[in-house]
Structure 1
Amino acid sequence: MKKNLKKAALLLTGVLLGGSVFAQTDSVSSREFVKPFSGIGSYRTWSIGANIGAPSLLLATGGHNGFNHWDPTLGYGLSIRDQLVHSFGLQLDYNGGKVKGGVSSNQPYVTNINGERYISFSTKYNQVTLSGVLNFATVDYLRRKNAIGFYASAGLGVVYYTPTVYGATTPGIPTTASASFKSSNIVLPVGVGVKFRLTDAVNLNLGYNENFIDGSSFNGANQYPVMSHYSYGYAGLEFTLGPKSKPSIQWANPIASIRHEYMTEEQRLQALVDAQKAANDKLRADMDAMNANLAKYTTDSDGDGVSDFFDKCPGTPAGVKVDGSGCPLPMATAKPADVKVYVTEEDKKIVKEAIRNLEFDFGKSTIRPHSFPSLTRVAQLLIEKNFSLKLAGHTDNVGSSDFNLSLSKNRAESVKAFLVSKGANPSSIEATGYGKTQPIATNKTAKGRQMNRRVEFTLF
């Protein structure tokens, strides 16, 4: 007995020390909330436990098979559990220990089915079971995080036991020899309990199991058809496994998570509203500043069409025409008499030569250098005789209409730009593109298409 109590003390000390280590390393800043409907992977679901307790034939169920006196003994257990959902998990348990008992003074012996009489027993056992654990009150409406949890369990397993019975030695009654044997049977454990959350990783577990055995000789005195059973009351610690960034599913409060999600979303939306309001205020301030600057640049006190900021001649009388700086334009002089201009054959020859020598890069509006001399003579002609010139660009039918129209226009503008660069008056030159709409030859032959790719010069 003393040896068993010493073992129990050592085991309990080890369990409590282990709980202390877990409690010291457990962080109170562990994530408490999980986004609703995010799946089981967001939680810690696995846990292990260790316990010590008192196995007996008498607890809660009264005497069993005649032995109505209980000798206190030590039991112990280990467990591993996977919490499948908030309210239900599967738990694998190992239990071991010894159950001892005897008869009281008013009951001299116990008789088995063979008529053998015994006064006491001692049974060593080892048991492995798989149980379903149903949690109650998994939602706490008073606290953000649950602190107490109640549960019930039921399962199925195998118990291996070695009972020893001791024969009666009462005077006047024949002595029955002591006996010992090994056996195993299916066992059905049914239990209830309560857990207290010490930290996010450590729980205090108090429970009671009644173990119903498919056999009649657990106490060594076979009294078939009465089935054997024994009880086990225990206390222990349970340690949650997994990363601290995830909460334990058995203590997580779904209502708190839903509220947290709502509050977080509300704060996020409020932050967006505040940010948008700040942006609107800044935009309004920028617009006010822009309107103030715009007023400075658009105010025209004398009504001459030039703002005061740029007006170098303020106070111009109404109706007076002004230049870009707001100053009156000089009075118009008499228009000189029109001078007739005649186009000679020599002039036409210069233009024809320019047309004949005009070439562009393929598919581009870039004039090739060998065309420059003849175009330079056309520019000199425009300057000397003050001629006007119409440039008409044309293409063949290769390519889209939009491309050819743009290409013909660009080539005519390139010729105009060259002439202007040589001193010709840009207002006297008109550049137009017609694309492929005005062919002068068939587009079915290479020669015809070449003739259609042209820029026509018209002097007037």
Structure 2
Amino acid sequence: MNKSIIMRAACLLIASMPLLGIAQDRPSTTNSPSSNPNVELFNGTSGFRKWSIGVNGGLLAPVAPTGGSNDFTKWKASAGYGAYVKYQILHSLALRADYVGGKLQGDNSKALGNGSNRVSPYSSFDTKLKWSGSLNAVVNIATVNWLFRQNFVQIYASVGAGLAGYEPTLTKVGGGEVNYKTDGTIKELIIPVGVGLKFKLSESINLDLGYTINYLDADNLDGYNYGPNKDKYSYGYAGLEFPLGRKSKKQLQWHNPAKSMYDELAAQKAVLASELDKANANNARLTADVDKLTKDSDGDGVSDFFDKCPGTPANTKVDGAGCPLPVPEVVKKEEKVVITEEDTRVVKEAIRNLEFDFAKATIKPNSYPALDRVAELLKRKNLNLKLSGHTDNVGSKERNLALSRERAEAVKQYMVEKGVNSSKIEAVGYGPTQPIASNKTASGRQKNRRVEFTIF
């Protein structure tokens, strides 16, 4: 037998293996999704119709897409007919017994690629395909219309083996017919490989469209043994398939495991949701009862049910009955802070070196080192500082008052940025109201423009 035929059949069977595990039979169960959330996703094939018969008609031709038109240059299509009996093992796999009959014809009227005709003693052939019988494995490759989870059309493939009985009759180039074999019908092994589309018209009838290539284990089909290749013929057909059994049962071949799984999981989800709602209702009742015993309106740690002193202020320590505990009197120990001459010198140096931009509250950078030493002193001894801003009498009183306050605040902000607690610093502006020298002279006005530091 041609090795390529065997390879094609093997490849098709290997490709179908993953499909066989999609819907393995499981023990049947009487539990339904509504009564038991632990339902089986597929409960076997007992509830489906598995047997069916089919009849079809179409065209037979001594040609194949993979091997041309055998030993004659031109093939002709002739009427063919067939029937089958099928048993569906799984939703994706079936065994089918096929019968096909009809006629095969061809001649040498077609020129070859070089413009010439093949040299042959025969001008045409006419083969009567008395019968062919084969047993095929039919694999449902894909199912269309997954969006609605309803099967509408199947794409299937088939492969098998069988016997064909036929009688070729040849016509000589000069005229006259010759029987290729006079001792009866030729019987040869065939390997049918096919594909098809099947449409579900109703639960009682399917439309079947298919195309099958039959590979023969001989070169006798056209009555002319020419070349190394064996003969083959194809059958394209349309037919009707009728499932057998009770109409109340659905066809197994149209069963959609994904849809069943979706529907049954949805049913499980509904059951679990119902149980969850019941549990939530019970929890709500329990929570209400617990709340009565645990509610603590004043937040003192004792529930209202046991609290004998309701309305206790927040953060009040209470006893087991919810009443405030006695608060011990805390005697604050005063810590005496000693200000040394060195501390006073550091402050005076800061006052002496403090300079601002003209008519602004911007501290000049050369004042920073002395201010840093004052900030370190305040942090180390936890001292308080009062900043008093003063100006001369040049300009309006309102502007001088605002400027003195801004300069005092600028010094305070600098100290805070160096880590001094802002609550330890007071900044006040007095404007020109507290001069320490005469404003009539330039030197006197210079002395009046100042920020005084007082530590305590």
Q: Normalization by structure 2: what TM-score? A: 0.47
TM-score (norm: length of structure 1)? 0.47
